[in-house]
Amino acid sequence: MRRGFRFWGLVPAWVLMLGTLLIPLMIVAIVSVAQRGAYGGFEWAFTLEPYRQILFSVGWTDELEFDPKYLFVIGRTLVLAGATTLICMMLALPVAYVIATRTPRMKTVLIYLVTLPFWVSMIVRVYAWLIILGNDGFVGRIWHALGGQGTLLFTPGAMLVGMVYSYIPLMVLPVFAAIEKLDPALLEAGGDLYASRWTTARRVILPLTWPGLAAGSILVFVPALGTVLEPMLLGGGKQMMMGTLIQTQFGSARNWPFGAAIALVLMVMVVIVLVLNARRAMRKEARS
């Protein structure tokens, strides 16, 4: 019985994940080298066309030309996800530090308050920013009062605000955990040794919280790469990111193989990040 359960207990999880993740992902890989149907869908015929499309387009006179438009989409995705991660780091460090230096009771309450918005539906959180940044919204009106032109919505800035807002709890939590582990004696030693607390921050706190920052970066960067709602609603659909590009290919553009190819590129990017992170963690383990 016990031996049996060791095996059977894991079967449901494996079946579920194989059926809804692993096998579908393999099919995505296959579809990414299939022919697209004229009106949508795909046909089972091998072609590298979808991947060629990422880099080259057939011009109006049948010539194959290098066309960086999708590279720009990939680049924009990396830049926005990277910027989101950086901004989250800069916000999370002081906030997590302040939280970590409160009384235990206060700590629990504050950490709970950081986590809570994460459980509110993503669509509602994005909608909130749609109202705030809109021309009639609070921030939109301040912008106009200050002489700002046009609308704040439908800009990369609006997307960035939405993304930082969506993912910030994922950065605060691990950074908080790392800071909490710091030995107060170390800090005080730092305070005694160095001239100012800013030097202490730079020389002592930052290096010691680095593992927390790294973990938070993964947690923020990976979902930010695949973000869909922010570009769709706050970016007005004009500023494509990889997530929206994939969505469009399976939607109105009806080019499944190309959508599958982009999805695979995104997957590979995520896997690279995860592998780099795992290797870093392993090196650290080996050292200690």
Partner 1 sequence: MSANHDVRHYPGAGLMTTVFFLWLYAPIVVVIWFSFNENRLVSVWSGFSTKWYTAALANDALMDALRVSLTVAGIATVISTTVALCAAMVLSRNSDLRFAKLSETVVNLPLLLPEIVVAVATLILFSQLEFTNGLLRLIVAHSAFCTPFAFLPIRARLQGMSADYEEAAQDLYATPFTAFRRVTLPLIMPGVFAGAMLAFVISMDDFITSNMLATGGTTTLPVYIFSLIKRGTTPELNAISTLLIVASLVIATLALALSARAMRRA
Partner 2 sequence: MKTKLTLGVAISTLLAMPAFAEGTLNLYTWSDSIAPELIKKFEESTGTTVNIDGFNSNEDALTKLQAGSSGYDVVTPSQHFVKIMIDQGLLENIDAKDMAAFAQVDDKWKNQWWDPDSNYSIPLAYGTAGYTVNRDEYSGPVDSWKAYFEPDESMKGKIASLASPDEVIGAAELYLGVPFCTEDKAEMKKVYDLLMAQKPYVAAYSSDNIENRVGSGEVAMHFWWDGNSLKTRLDGANIEYAMPKEGLVGWLDSFVVPKGASNVAAAKEFINFMSQEENATIQYNYYAHSSPVKIDVSKAKYTPENAPELFPTVPMEFSRACSPAAQDLITKVWTDLLQ
Binding mask 109-128 for partner 1 (x = CB under 8 A): -x-xxxxxx-xxxxxxx-xx
Q: Which candidate, 146, 153, 135, places its Cα nearest to that of 233?
A: 153
How far apart CA 231 and CA 159 sit, in angstroms, is 6
User: Quick one: which of 252, 266, 269, 255 has its CA closest to 50?
Assistant: 255
Residues 23-62: x where in contact with partner 2 by CB under 8 A, - otherwise, as a string: ---------------xxxx---------------xx-xxx
Helices (H) and strands (E) counted in the chain, each on its own, are: 15, 4
Contact 35, 49 (CB under 8 A): yes
| Core vs surface per residue 178-211: b (16+ CB within 10 A) or e | bbbebeeeebeebeeeeeeeeebbeebbeebbeb
For residues 175 and 93, the answer to whether their CB atoms sit within 8 Å is yes
Say which entry of partner 2, partner 1, none residue 208 contacts (CB below 5 to 8 A, set by partner kind).
none
- Looking only at residues 90 through 109 of this chain, which bind partner 1 when binding is defined by CB under 8 A? 91, 94-95, 97-99, 101, 108
Cβ–Cβ < 8 Å for 235, 152: no
Place of tokens 């930010």: 224
3-class DSSP assignment, residue 65: strand
- Is 236 near partner 2 (CB under 8 A)? yes
69 binds, among partner 1, partner 2, none (CB under 5 to 8 A by kind): partner 2
**Is the CB of residue 224 less than 8 Å from the CB of residue 163?**
yes
Q: Binding to partner 2 by residue 238, rule CB under 8 A?
A: yes
Candidates 53, 88, 137, 213; binder of partner 1 (CB under 8 A) is: 137
Residue nearer to partner 2 on the CB measure, 39 or 198: 39
Judged by DSSP in three states, 34 sits in strand
Q: Which is nearer to partner 1, 59 or 284 (CB)?
A: 284
Asked if 178 interacts with partner 1 (CB under 8 A), we say: no
Between residue 245 and residue 264, which ones bind partner 2 under the rule CB under 8 A?
250-255
From CA 175, how far away is CA 119, in angstroms rounded? Answer: 19
Cβ proximity to partner 1, 58 vs 274, nearer residue:
274
Query: Quick one: tokens of 177?
Result: 């955990």
Tell me the closest approach of the beta carbon of residue 77 to partner 1, in angstroms. Answer: 11
Assess 191 for contact with partner 2 (CB under 8 A). Answer: no
Interaction of residue 175 with partner 1, rule CB under 8 A: no
Taking CB under 8 A as the rule, does residue 43 contact partner 1?
Answer: no
Contact track, partner 1, 188-227, x by CB under 8 A: x-xxx---xx--xx---x----------------xx-xx-
Which residues form the interface with partner 2 (CB under 8 A)? 38-41, 57-58, 60-62, 69-70, 236-238, 240, 250-255
